[in-house]
């Protein structure tokens, strides 16, 4: 029996685990589509969560083994806990549900994050070192299962860039043809900026083709390195990393950039100006720390990776707009405008702005 009236989903799945008495259950923020649940049990706290990104056991096995092998290698991340039979995941309702360790700590809000990145502290240097450590460990592991991730899901996969752009266009056409929803301002902002966004897609496809990004080597990557997934705990030697639903074989520098350096708080206009300084500082720390330093060809792709991350954010917002609560409408509209403004500036930079030699 729970000591509170809040009930997590799928109790028959939970019954397969040796958790002892579940004392309380609380829905958590975050998670790409399905709400994670924090369970307090006789044996401590765990997280019960489902992923729609991995709808088959072979696909989830890749995620679970990546997380567990990364944790064994020293990465601070939540392991997937097996049930009594040794199974690590349970398919149900077009998702795979599993019990994960709970990673204690604090998430930074966007304003605090941006202040830390632009300030005189060693935070960008530490972050670059941490992500380099993550990628070194992920490069060493050999998870079983199916590593593929649908191109309809984040993040952008460069080997399928045209297909992803086509998916974006279909979604935008559907949005344009639908009756106005409650998310009126955000919908209007996205449609009003459609021409500028199209130009940025064109630029990204040309740049990715000329740089050969789609043919570059890949490795296991987290897929969503972002402040909302980085956990800071007092006394912990490493930064924690949660929400591994997007793990796949991808480009490590695109993963490293994630949403950690060009992501402004919606309520602070000063962060809407592109500053490549933190990007250079962060990537320099990454380059110094990683076992296999990025090649000149990889470094030359940094502007394209930063552009792709802005487009990925818009792609995710387009996905949720039809169901967006009214209370989030103005915030989403502002973030859409900010992302497009930043993309305008990314296209206006040259190689020297990113710390690259000319040419």
Kindly tell me if the per-residue pLDDT of 33 is higher than 80: no
The pLDDT value recorded for residue 337 is 92
Q: What percentage of the chain exceeds 90 in pLDDT?
A: 69
- 261 pLDDT more than 90: no
What pLDDT score was predicted for residue 129?
96
Could you give the CA distance from residue 296 to residue 356 in angstroms, rounded to a whole number?
A: 9
CB neighbourhood size of 199 (10 A): 13
Give the residue from 42, 44, 40, 58 showing the smallest Cα distance to 4: 40
* Least confident residue range of 50-59, 93-102, 163-172, 287-296: 50-59
For residue 179, what are the contacts with CB-CB under 8 A and spacing of at least 6?
Answer: none
Q: What is the mean pLDDT of residues 30-51?
A: 87
Domain 110-354 in CATH 3.30.2320.80: no
Comparing CA positions, the residue from 127, 142, 141, 146 lying closest to residue 241 is: 127
Spatial CB neighbours of 235, under 8 Å, sequence gap ≥ 6: none
Phi, psi of 317 (to 5 degrees): -65, -40
Residues contacting 358, CB < 8 A, separation 6+: 350, 351, 352
E strand or H helix that includes residue 230: strand 230-231
Domains in the chain: boundaries: 11-101, 110-354
> What is the number of other CB atoms lying within 10 angstroms of the CB of residue 279?
23
Could you tell me how many residues make up the chain? 359
Q: ∠ CA(15), CA(19), CA(21), 5° rounding? A: 85
11-101 to CATH, choices 3.20.20.70, 1.10.3470.10, 3.30.200.20, 3.40.50.970: 3.30.200.20
CA-based radius of gyration for the chain: 21
Burial class (CB in 10 A: 0-12, 13-18, 19+), 157: buried
At 1-26, the pLDDT tens digits run: 455 567 788 999 999 999 999 999 99
pTM score:
0.93
Q: What percent of the chain has pLDDT over 70?
A: 93
More confident residue, 244 or 111: 244
d(CA 278, CA 124): 7
Q: Are 44 and 102 in contact (CB under 8 A)?
A: yes
Are the CB atoms for 81 and 138 separated by under 8 Å?
A: no
Measured CA distances, 74 to 25, 81, 130, 146 (Å): 29, 17, 11, 24
174-210 per-position pLDDT tens digit? 998 888 655 689 999 999 999 999 999 999 999 999 9
- Residue 106 tokens read as 């604090």
* Angstrom distance (rounded) from CA 47 to CA 40: 9
């Amino acid at each position: 029996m729970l000591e509170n009236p809040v009930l997590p989903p799928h109790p028959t799945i939970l019954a397969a685990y040796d958790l002892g008495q579940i004392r309380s259950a609380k829905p958590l923020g975050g998670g790409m589509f399905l709400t994670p649940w924090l369970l307090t049990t006789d044996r401590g706290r765990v997280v019960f969560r489902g992923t729609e990104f991995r709808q088959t056991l072979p696909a989830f096995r890749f995620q679970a083994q990546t997380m567990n092998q990364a944790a064994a290698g020293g990465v601070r991340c939540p392991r997937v806990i097996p049930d009594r039979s040794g199974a690590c995941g349970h398919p149900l309702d077009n998702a795979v549900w599993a019990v994960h360790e709970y990673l204690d700590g604090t998430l930074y809000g966007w304003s605090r994050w941006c202040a830390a990145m632009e300030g005189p502290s060693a935070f960008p240097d530490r972050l670059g070192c941490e992500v380099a450590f993550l990628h070194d460990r992920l490069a060493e592991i050999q998870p079983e299962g199916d590593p593929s991730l649908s191109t309809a899901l984040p993040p952008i996969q460069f080997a399928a860039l045209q297909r992803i752009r086509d998916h974006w266009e279909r979604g935008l056409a559907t949005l344009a043809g639908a009756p106005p929803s409650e998310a009126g301002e955000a919908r209007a902002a996205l449609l009003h900026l459609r021409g500028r966004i199209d130009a940025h897609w064109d630029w990204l496809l040309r740049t990715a083709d000329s740089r050969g990004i789609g043919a570059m080597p890949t490795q296991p990557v987290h897929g969503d390195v972002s402040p909302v997934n980085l956990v800071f705990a007092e006394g912990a030697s490493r930064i924690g990393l949660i929400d591994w639903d997007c793990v796949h074989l991808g480009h490590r520098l695109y993963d490293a950039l994630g949403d950690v350096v060009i992501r402004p708080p919606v309520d602070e206009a000063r962060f809407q100006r592109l500053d490549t300084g933190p990007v250079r500082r962060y990537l320099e720390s990454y380059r110094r720390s990683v076992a296999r330093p990025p090649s000149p060809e990889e470094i030359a792709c940094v502007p394209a990776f930063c552009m792709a991350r802005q487009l990925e954010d818009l792609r995710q917002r387009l996905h949720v707009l039809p169901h967006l609560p009214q209370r989030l409408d103005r915030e989403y509209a502002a973030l859409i405008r900010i992302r497009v403004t930043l993309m305008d500036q990314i296209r206006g930079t040259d190689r020297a702005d990113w710390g690259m030699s000319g040419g």
